Amino acid sequence: MIGGRAIVLLLALSPGLASAAEKTATFDYSGWHCARCGPGIEKALRKTKAVKSALATLDRVTVVYDDRFTDLDKLAAMIEAAAPGPFKVGA
């Protein structure tokens, strides 16, 4: 029982060990002319277990994600699929 507590305590004191796969990515894009698309893109990204948080503004999307479950190309594709009308990540 003491050994189990030591492991839990170690993880609690070393957050880097528990979330080593968590990364942040920022995607610049073109094609938006108003802020109405942002909430839909954020919601679509957060539906996946890989995305911890998402914030969409008029010129970029910032995503905190677990790279064990997705990668930058998949995130960019999700953003493009969730945005209505012409929209291009990285443009």
Q: Which residues contact 87 (CB under 8 A, 6 or more apart)?
A: 29, 30, 31, 32, 37, 79, 80
As a whole number, mean pLDDT of residues 12-35 equals 70
Q: Give the tens place of pLDDT for each residue, 34-65.
A: 777 789 899 999 999 999 999 998 888 999 99
Determine the pLDDT at residue 46. 95
Task: Give me the pLDDT at residue 30, please.
Answer: 76
Q: How far apart are the first and last CA of the chain?
A: 55
What average pLDDT does the chain have?
Answer: 77
